[in-house]
């Protein structure tokens, strides 16, 4: 693992709070979204359950993004779970999260080791 991450400018507008925007970087489909408290997150665009694209079937709820296909939810750390009607949360598959930051109205996303 390298000590310093390398970042690339993403071709995407910074999301407003609660908004999900899609982009790609080095051929990898990603989403960039912002929690209701304003935390920025870049992650894989496809839900690890059945590959639903989260830019189209995702919704931000508080500090999580929910895949509306089967209601798995993911934190900004990529931890997946499903909440039942009584509020019990069962762990589900996790999703890759990519370090990112916003500066001067642009989004910068960490490149992944081994990519072109
Ligand atoms: S495809 Fe996302 S929860 Fe099933």
Domain with residue 31: its CATH number is: 2.102.10.10
Is residue 108's pLDDT more than 50? yes
The model carries a pTM of: 0.91
Collapsed DSSP state (helix, strand, coil) of residue 62:
coil
Start-to-end C-alpha separation, the chain: 17
Angle at 21 between CA 84 and CA 16, to 5 degrees: 85
| Model pLDDT, residue 111 | 87
Helix (H, G, I), strand (E, B) or coil at 57: helix
Total domains in the chain come to 1
Other C-beta atoms lying within 10 Å of the C-beta of residue 109:
22
Q: Is residue 52 part of a domain?
A: yes
Q: What is the pLDDT of residues 28-63, one digit of tens each?
A: 999 999 999 999 999 999 999 999 999 999 999 999
For ligand 1, pick from 31, 61, 69 the residue to mutate: most ligand atoms within 8 Å of CB. 69
In a domain, 115, yes or no: no
In a domain? residue 77: yes
Domain for residue 5, yes or no?
Answer: no
Distance from Cα 97 to the centre of ligand 1, integer Å: 17
- Give distance in angstroms: CA of 105 to centre of ligand 1: 31
pLDDT confidence tier of residue 1, bands split at 50, 70 and 90 = very low
What is the mean predicted confidence (pLDDT) over 7-24? 96
Range of the domain at 72: 21-102
Tell me whether residue 71 is in a domain.
yes
């Amino acid at each position: 693992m390298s000590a310093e991450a390398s970042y690339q400018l993403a071709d995407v507008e910074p999301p407003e709070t609660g908004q999900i925007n899609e982009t790609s970087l080095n051929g990898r489909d990603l989403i960039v979204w912002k929690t209701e408290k304003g935390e920025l997150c870049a992650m894989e665009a496809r839900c690890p359950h059945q590959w639903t694209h989260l830019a189209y079937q995702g919704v931000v709820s508080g500090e999580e993004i929910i895949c509306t296909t089967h209601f798995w939810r993911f934190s900004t750390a990529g931890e997946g779970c499903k909440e039942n009607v009584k509020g019990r949360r069962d762990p589900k598959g996790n999703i890759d999260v990519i370090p990112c930051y916003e500066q001067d109205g642009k989004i910068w996303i960490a490149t992944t080791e081994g990519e072109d």
